[in-house]
Amino acid sequence: MRTFTIGPDDGGQRLDKFVMKATVGMPQSLLYKYIRKKCVKINGRRAEASDMVSAGDIVTMYVSDEFFPGADASLPIASIVPKLSVAYEDDNIIVCDKPAGVLVHAGDADGESSDDKNTLIGHIQAYLYRKGEYDPTSSATFAPALCNRIDRNTRGLVIAAKNAEALREMNAIIRGGCIRKFYLCAVHGVPEPRERELRGWLRREGNGVRVYASRLPGCKEIVTRYRVLKVARGGDLSLCEVELLTGRTHQIRAHMEYIGHPLLGEGRYGKNESDRRRGYRSQALCAYKLRFVLDGYDGKLSYLRGREIKLDTDTVDFMREFD
């Protein structure tokens, strides 16, 4: 028998969802069998799979011990020495500057093996664990989680939520388009006009994506706004600020290549042999600024309205091309 007291981060979900997250390796058919046979109770009473659990409820499970994680479940987090550059932090969220070359999540490595010791979320959880703000043993179903993500070889700002309510709210804010996302990139040539809103169509091809000028089956519209900030002395490179008006995989990389100005160091959407000789082995792209607009939003995170989080652009490596 195991007993769980529902905390703030575990409340507001169906009983079956809670049980699935609180156990390990339990077949779904067996989960519903346990519930039907009254082996799972809320506050000592029979419960249905669709019942909602709330903070303060006591869930009792008369379930085989094999389906519960061991007492040392938190040890992997405890063994990580966090290496983070924190751009902003409060009681609900943390915004980190992810270095280029670091995965945001394990399993995002295009088939390469990875674990949380090598990921941004692993280091965020370890950082909060060491601060005493995250205890894996106190919440059966919630762990600090990322609200947005960027490519492995892109540097920049990534938002993580520290609690379940903040995660739900931030995800809703992002879906509602209430955060403006700005990138810096170095591109080949000088785009004309120097400020423009681009519209195109993106389609996945295997593990990659391509942009098309007209609608084709399986395509999704992408909208990208760019502005040329500087041109390198030789005129071969431009520094652009890019705002994502839609958020698709590889959107900036694919869209800039489509208009004839691939990113410096680009490997998938351009030929970068000369870029490699120049010292660039991945795209010159940095998610450098977030602006919380929050028009019409009055929820838990409304205190972020009008806040802008920005990296020090002097630390962006490809800025040296424009000195």
Which of 175, 198, 220 lies at the terminal end of a domain, its last residue?
Answer: 175
| Domain harbouring 52, CATH code | 3.10.290.10
Number of H helices and number of E strands within the chain? 7, 17
Q: What is the C-alpha to C-alpha distance for residues 81 and 101, in angstroms, rounded to an integer?
A: 18
Contact of 277 with 265, CB cutoff 8 Å: no
Q: What is the C-alpha to C-alpha distance for residues 240 and 256, in angstroms, rounded to an integer?
A: 10
Look at residue 112 in the predicted model and tell me its pLDDT: 45
Q: What is the C-alpha to C-alpha distance for residues 146 and 15, in angstroms, rounded to an integer?
A: 24
Which of 29, 49, 67 lies at the terminal end of a domain, its last residue?
Answer: 67
Mean per-residue pLDDT over the chain, rounded = 88
- Regarding predicted confidence, which is higher, 138 or 12? 12
Token couple for 295? 């028009």
What is the three-class DSSP state of 292?
strand
Which of 156, 175, 194 lies at the terminal end of a domain, its last residue?
Answer: 175
Q: Are residues 154 and 264 in the same domain?
A: no
Contact of 98 with 158, CB cutoff 8 Å: yes
**Tens digit of pLDDT for each residue in 178-211?**
999 999 999 999 999 999 999 988 887 766 666 7
Which of 78-82, 122-126, 259-263, 315-319 is predicted with the least confidence, judged by mean pLDDT? 78-82
**Tens digit of pLDDT for each residue in 68-97?**
765 444 457 878 889 999 999 999 999 999
| Domain harbouring 84, CATH code | 3.30.2350.10
Look at residue 286 in the predicted model and tell me its pLDDT: 98
Exposure string over 97-123, b if 16+ CB within 10 A, otherwise e = bbebebbbeeeeeeeeeeebebbbbbb
Q: Are residues 196 and 210 in the same domain?
A: yes
Give the model's confidence band at 60: pLDDT under 50 very low, under 70 low, under 90 confident, else very high.
Answer: very high
**Tens digit of pLDDT for each residue in 111-126?**
444 566 789 999 999 9
Q: What total number of domains does the chain contain?
A: 3
pLDDT at residue 269 above 70?
yes
Q: Are residues 207 and 86 in the same domain?
A: no
Q: For 140, which DSSP code?
A: S
Q: Are residues 187 and 309 in the same domain?
A: yes
What residue numbers bound the domain in which 119 lies?
75-175
In terms of residues, how long is the chain? 323
Q: Are residues 213 and 258 in the same domain?
A: yes
